[in-house]
Structure 1
Amino acid sequence: MIFNRLFCNRGILYQNFRQHGWLGILYLITLLFSLPLHIATEHRDIPQQITSLFQSNGETHILFAITFPVAMGIFLFRYMQSGAPSDLFHGLPLQRKHLLTVNLLTGFGMILVPIWLTTAITGWVWAAQDGLAFIFNGSEIWMWGLSMSIYSLFMFMLTVAVGMCIGQSVLQGLTVYAILLLPVVFWFIFTLHLQHYLFGYPYGDMNSYAEKISLVLRMASISNYPVIGRELVIYAALALVFIPLSYVLYAKRKVESATQAITFTLVKPIFRFGLMFTLVLIGGAYFTMIAPPGSTGWTIFGYVLGGIVGYIVAEMIIRKTWLIWNGRLLPKLVLYGLLSGLILYVPVADWNGYAARVPEMNDVKSIKLGGDHYTYVNGVNQKVDDQPFYSDDPEFMEAVLALHQKIITSDLSLPDPVYPDDNYDEYVYINYKLNNGKVMKRRYQIPEAEFRQELMALKQSPDYKRVAYDTYKLDEDLLSIGIRSTISSYRKVYIGSPDQVREFKELLKQDILDQTYEEQRSPWQSFAYAEMNQESASNDPYQPKEMWSFEIKPSYDRVIGWLKENKLYDQLLITADEIASAQIVKQEIDSPGNPQWVYAEPEYIDGNLSGSKQVATKNKKIISDLLERQRSGERTEKATVYQIKLNAIRGENIYMMLKEEDLTEDMKAILADQ
């Protein structure tokens, strides 16, 4: 009786549902429209196999989960943020723990009842209706209900806990979303700071995880990255922690703190520094992006300006006035500024040894080059186990360590995160798995010419080629192989015989592993592409099989010999007799300090972009020579290239590019005559 009378006070419960119950009803309606109605009315010719109901309109589900519970938390505890209602409610013959309990129970009911009613109705639709557009198991329905419950309760309890420290409803809502976005702001902007000042920082590896650390950004990734148990455990644990925290804070909160921006003295310096440091990072990032390349002074100016503005804004919010000027303002600003400077400086300081650290051979268990691998199965991106990509081969490990050591001792400048140096044409991404169980990662951008010997020793090792060229896929079972000409997509052959597939795979693997360093860096375009068709691990009919593509370079003698032997080579080859004429136009590249990509560009000839005179020829020898040499695109500041169009007698025309040094004497002769 005491529990029902005090903790579940019927009068307050009735008042809450009468005044705020519309939020729960609206939550139910929106969930019904976004899930069961969407599933029941969606039409697809071929049903889609899904492993999570968040793959069906999941962005909308998360949007509702991060908005309605926040609104409920603000409305149910609105009495604490207004002077007269606060005096009225706290004058009732109820202790604060009773008021908090009855309002929490109201919020839990308004959240959980709509979610589980939607879950039940979705289950009924799944069981009763045939021919749904989505194929899923019953367990996915309960998983959706559990996930939505945890997400929604986390948002509600976060709003309640924040409301104990904030005395204004609008500021309470803004603070909730600021807390959700703060990790992302720190993640991206502090990463930019580290990339700017910390040599070797593996910035690219972090972006794939950013969307998972904030429910606000989870809206964009929920369809491709499924909900995992660890994520739900973290949010559930946080929601549970906020419950006793709310009781403790509510017990210490003063009634007269209603309408104040910050209700606890201890929270004020945290709020001050948090807002100030956030604007420090934003100011530094902004001026880093708009400043000319290499202008470090502008970045420092951005940090200082952001800190000053952030501190002043925080002080105005706390005092609720712009009249904040007094003798203690400047000393506090200096103190917070020094603390911000230390946080920015310590991670990038030379004395911490990060930039100069190269592990000893005896401390390294294995090494992987490159980032994470992902595969798309049943509509979601899944990270591939990276253990097969690590190598403990001594020769490979020594080559990586030698390259790393030379990078450290070389006088390379830090890469500009906004204006990267395009002359640095080699990316080195090293993952060391150490004997102590830790993983050490470094990423560098280096000029190939300066590190040619070290790169040659590394890239000629079999373990490098195995990962860089995905040769491990050639050890797997294949259904068939499709080979498509690089020049013409209409020229293609298929290999379906198991014996031929096995022979082709072995020869291709040998050719890849036998490549020299020069062949790997060859500027010539591949002869063809081989598409490996596998059985799919997916149950989605839209994704019936997996495909991997491998280049067939002109230097792959075994594969090309096999194609000739099996009378497939001529089916891919285009001869001069099939070409009516060739058009050639000169293109000059002259942009010092501003490298640009140059590649075969149909519009350059067809649209006459240069306005230069075009040279045409029907000489079969010249056309035959052109068919045998096609340069890949490249990035350059100064070069003379020739855009070429081969006019086919039948079928598609062919576009290619050559540099001046690639021209034969016959080509030079006809160009000189014009």
Structure 2
Amino acid sequence: MKWRVLGMIFNRLYFNRGILYQNFRQHGWLGLVYLLLLLLSLPLTIGTTYRENAEEITSLFQVRGELLWFFAISIPVVMGLFLFRYIQAGGPADLYHSLPLKRKHLLTMNLLTGLVMILVPIWITAGVTGWVSTILEEPAYIFDGTAVWMWGVTMSIISLFMFTLTVAVGMCIGQSVLQGLTVYGICLIPIVFLGVFGLHLNRYLSGFPNDKFEFGSRDISPILRISNLGYVPPDWGELGIYAAMTVILVVLTYIFYRKRHVESATQAITFRMVKPIFRFGFMFTVVLISGAYFTMIEPNGSKYWGVVGYIIGGIAGYLGAEMIIRKSWLIWGRSLLPKFAVYAGAVALVLYVPVADWNGYASNVPTSDRVEKVRIGGEHFTYVDNQYIKIDEDRFYSTNTGYIDAVVTLHQKIVDSDLSLRPMGVNRVVHDEEEVRIDYQLKNGEKLSRQYFIPTSRFQEELMNMKNWEDYKTTRYETYFLDGDVRNIGIRSGYHRDRTVFITNLQLIREFKALLKEEILEQSYEDQLSPWETFASVEVYMNFPESSSKLLLDGVNRSATYEIKPSYSRLIEWLKQNKLYDQLRVSADEITTAQFIKQEINSPGNLKMVYADPQFIDGNPQSKKMIVTKNKKIISELLQRQRADFYTENDTVYQIKLNFIRGQNTYMMLREDDLTEDMRAILLDN
């Protein structure tokens, strides 16, 4: 009898038929729309797609995954806005709160309605999908029941998270439009903060790495997670985080609803304590975006555009926040400036403390005895199936004490030199500049990463000491690929792109790999800085599946590219012995003429990239004088030297075109200092 009475009370208070009937009558169409969209996107696609060879998939998000995720992050938000519209409008708020129901009971009924409208369409779709996959005689996709179950769980958790986030935000916001904007703003704020605040740190904190917050940062936003969903479906860890946040949001919703005043409907912010949080958050976000924008467009030599951007963003952000809160642009009063000063001070403090000199970040250089291993060049990624996959990083670290000493010595000199911070503008190129990325794994388990752009000439001795170690060359030139199982090797001439040879003989592949690795590891510092184009480029194609587990993360296969530099004399001799050299080289007898056009570079303060430009010769800009020669000696000398691309402000180069008797013509360039006496003579005579 006791349990029966309790059950009747429970049903009466929490499962009010009138509220349920009204909710489904008024908003049930949203559930039907959700069901229709899911059915059209998943089981219909699976049932109507035709493939000659069925694709085996492990996740249903590999079938229209982006569209399905879009539905999961949009439809539940709309449901939350409609179901709880009654707390945002004055008349409905008075009506609903006058009913003989406690707030927690009313909230439970609406949450239950949303729960049903979300979960029923998802699991009906999952059931139909499983049924469709079993009746197809020639399916386009092959998957098992686990994929269907995982899809249903994932869609359920993400949809419920977006729904409960919308409801929780609605308790603190009194307008439906602002509520929806705030929901998506909250989802995007982590990306904005990490990305834009990372730019701030990179601009004003010496040594801060560019990619500190870059890789994997999209996964923290359900909105941007859509970009790689089909390639990296959510795992149980990610789903567990969303499920935990959903539970927390439900608890917060009950707390907020209990303290929310009915008359706060139509107000922008319903709680006084939320207003300062909103002001600071809105102002700080606008400050970061404005500061980043002004920093990116600042002229060369300017140091204060970023600061001006922060000031403008602070003013605009605070005024915008006040207008939103008060729902009017008439916000002027005596308290406006004092409040602005308080918030501006807080924002300035947050911006200044991380980049201040006294925090020790910029001057922190570990001693060699504290370093367990070190890596130069940062993390390595491979691009596969529209996504970047990180390669196992252990192979890039070195425990060699001599190499560690060389890296620490370079790092210490960089810090002692107190270099000026590099501007962050678009297309900023600095002459004689080199990027140095250092990652330390310390013996205490910590990881310390720094990134610098240094003038090569000032650190030539330290760079040479570091780059002459095999540990650096192995990482920089990826020689570890040559230790793997190679299927074949392709070699393309650097002088004529149509000249290509392939090595498929296993014995020749082993000999070539060994020689190439020796040449790379034994090259001098000067060879690494060679300004000349290579004799040939090498493409090494890895064998699979044996090599994949050894070389790359997650069994991804790929090829590796190397250069055959003119200084690789033993490797070039090997090519000659195996009758491969003549198939790659270009003879002067194959060329009819060589055409020269002089190009003057004069752009002080604005570095320009100079490269072999076919349009400069074929277009013949401004009818520049062209000098043509058939001299075979000069043509032979041209075939021995090709200047690589370089940056300059002021220089004289010659754009050159080699006209072949047969086949595609070749374009190259030389600086004026590169010309031989015979070339100078013919150019001066003309």
Same fold (TM over 0.5): yes
The match for 1:365 among 354, 368, 372 is: 372
Q: Are the equivalent residues in 2 in contact too, given 1:372–1:386 (CA < 8 A)?
A: yes
SS of match in other structure, 1:488: coil
SS of match in other structure, 1:522: coil
Which residue pairs with 1:524 in the alignment? 532
Q: Deviations over 1:273-299 (max 9, x none)?
A: 111111222222233233323433332
SS of match in other structure, 2:238: helix
Q: In the alignment, is residue 306 of structure 1 matched against residue 313 of structure 2?
A: yes
Which residue pairs with 2:298 in the alignment? 291
| Equivalences, count | 671
Shift of 1:173: 0.6
Query: How well do the aligned residues superpose, as a CA RMSD in angstroms?
Result: 2.1
Q: In the alignment, is residue 209 of structure 1 matched against residue 216 of structure 2?
A: yes
Unpaired segments of 5 or more residues in structure 2? 1-6, 550-554
Q: In the alignment, is residue 140 of structure 1 matched against residue 152 of structure 2?
A: no
Which residue pairs with 1:602 in the alignment? 614
Q: Are the equivalent residues in 2 in contact too, given 1:525–1:631 (CA < 8 A)?
A: yes
1:460 maps to amino acid: N
Q: Deviations over 1:144-166 (max 9, x none)?
A: 32222222111111101101111
Which residue pairs with 1:575 in the alignment? 587
Q: Are the equivalent residues in 2 in contact too, given 1:223–1:380 (CA < 8 A)?
A: no
Distance in 2 of aligned mates of 1:645 and 1:31: 59
Q: Are the equivalent residues in 1 in contact too, given 2:231–2:385 (CA < 8 A)?
A: no
Q: Deviations over 1:454-495 (max 9, x none)?
A: 000111100000110001111111111111112223211111
Q: Are the equivalent residues in 2 in contact too, given 1:50–1:379 (CA < 8 A)?
A: no
Q: Deviations over 1:250-291 (max 9, x none)?
A: 111111211111111111111111111112222222332333
The match for 1:491 among 489, 499, 509 is: 499
SS of match in other structure, 1:162: helix
Q: Are the equivalent residues in 1 in contact too, given 2:499–2:584 (CA < 8 A)?
A: yes
The match for 1:152 among 151, 159, 173 is: 159
The match for 2:190 among 174, 183, 191 is: 183
Shift of 1:134: 4.6
Q: Are the equivalent residues in 2 in contact too, given 1:50–1:378 (CA < 8 A)?
A: no
SS of match in other structure, 1:583: strand
Distance in 2 of aligned mates of 1:376 and 1:312: 44
Distance in 2 of aligned mates of 1:621 and 1:638: 30
1:270 maps to amino acid: I
SS of match in other structure, 2:441: strand
- Evaluate the alpha carbon distance shift between residue 141 and residue 653 of structure 1 in structure 2; reply closer, same or farther with a 3 A threshold: farther
Q: Are the equivalent residues in 2 in contact too, given 1:276–1:311 (CA < 8 A)?
A: yes
1:272 maps to amino acid: R
- Evaluate the alpha carbon distance shift between residue 277 and residue 113 of structure 1 in structure 2; reply closer, same or farther with a 3 A threshold: same
- Matched ranges for 1:257-268 at <5 A: 257-268=264-275
Deviates more, 1:278-287 or 1:647-656: 278-287
- Matched ranges for 1:404-419 at <5 A: 404-418=411-425
Which residue pairs with 1:673 in the alignment? 685
SS of match in other structure, 2:389: strand
Distance in 2 of aligned mates of 1:16 and 1:157: 17
The match for 1:461 among 464, 469, 473 is: 469
Q: Deviations over 1:624-644 (max 9, x none)?
A: 111121111111111111111
Which residue pairs with 1:16 in the alignment? 23
Which residue pairs with 2:552 in the alignment? none
SS of match in other structure, 2:304: helix
- Matched ranges for 1:154-553 at <5 A: 154-376=161-383, 380-418=387-425, 420-536=428-544, 546-553=558-565
Q: Are the equivalent residues in 2 in contact too, given 1:481–1:501 (CA < 8 A)?
A: yes
- Evaluate the alpha carbon distance shift between residue 126 and residue 482 of structure 1 in structure 2; reply closer, same or farther with a 3 A threshold: farther
Shift of 1:194: 1.1
Q: In the alignment, is residue 559 of structure 1 matched against residue 553 of structure 2?
A: no
The match for 1:112 among 99, 119, 126 is: 119
Which residue pairs with 1:615 in the alignment? 627
Shift of 1:513: 0.3
Which residue pairs with 2:3 in the alignment? none
Which residue pairs with 1:650 in the alignment? 662
Which residue pairs with 1:65 in the alignment? 72
1:342 maps to amino acid: L
| Overall identity of the aligned pairs, in % | 57
Distance in 2 of aligned mates of 1:322 and 1:281: 23
Shift of 1:546: 2.4
Q: Are the equivalent residues in 1 in contact too, given 2:167–2:253 (CA < 8 A)?
A: yes
Deviates more, 1:368-377 or 1:6-15: 368-377
Q: Are the equivalent residues in 1 in contact too, given 2:492–2:538 (CA < 8 A)?
A: yes
Shift of 1:40: 3.8
Distance in 1 of aligned mates of 2:76 and 2:644: 55
Q: Are the equivalent residues in 2 in contact too, given 1:587–1:643 (CA < 8 A)?
A: yes
Q: Are the equivalent residues in 2 in contact too, given 1:536–1:546 (CA < 8 A)?
A: no
| TM-score w.r.t. length of structure 1 | 0.95
Deviates more, 1:564-573 or 1:217-226: 217-226
SS of match in other structure, 1:204: coil
Unpaired segments of 5 or more residues in structure 1? none
Shift of 1:621: 1.6
Deviates more, 1:460-469 or 1:290-299: 290-299
Shift of 1:555: 1.2
Distance in 2 of aligned mates of 1:324 and 1:199: 40
Shift of 1:377: 5.0
Q: Deviations over 1:331-369 (max 9, x none)?
A: 221111111111011001111011111011122111111
| TM-score w.r.t. length of structure 2 | 0.93
SS of match in other structure, 2:592: strand
- Evaluate the alpha carbon distance shift between residue 18 and residue 72 of structure 1 in structure 2; reply closer, same or farther with a 3 A threshold: same
Deviates more, 1:217-226 or 1:79-88: 217-226
- Evaluate the alpha carbon distance shift between residue 544 and residue 127 of structure 1 in structure 2; reply closer, same or farther with a 3 A threshold: farther
